[in-house]
């Protein structure tokens, strides 16, 4: 299950991300963060943390370097 979700995110990174404008305000990018977060905290908490990261990734936030 974990690998399937990470697979989907990797798929997104590889194929979909290149056609979208560069937009992430953080390092690592939201998709990398999601993968690291799932690997570190498990599916449920990892996904939630990742979603929270995407919500934070907006022009009002400062951005910068942020690891899960």
Positions in the binding site for another protein (CB under 8 A): 14-27, 29-30, 54-65
Which CB, 44 or 60, lies closer to another protein?
60
Give 1-57 as a 3 state SS string: CHHHHHHHHHHHHHHHHHHCCCCCCEECCHHHHHHHHHHHHCHHHHHHHHHHHHHHC
Minimum CB–partner distance for residue 7 and another protein (Å): 12
CB of 44 to another protein, least distance (A): 17
Q: How far is the CB of 26 from another protein (least distance, A)?
A: 7
């Amino acid at each position: 299950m974990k690998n399937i979700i990470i697979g989907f995110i990797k798929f997104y990174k590889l194929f979909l991300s290149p056609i979208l404008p560069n937009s992430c305000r953080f390092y690592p990018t939201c998709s990398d963060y999601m993968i690291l977060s799932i690997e570190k905290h498990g599916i449920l908490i990892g996904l939630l943390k990742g979603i929270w990261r995407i919500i934070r990734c907006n022009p009002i936030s400062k951005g910068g370097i942020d690891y899960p």
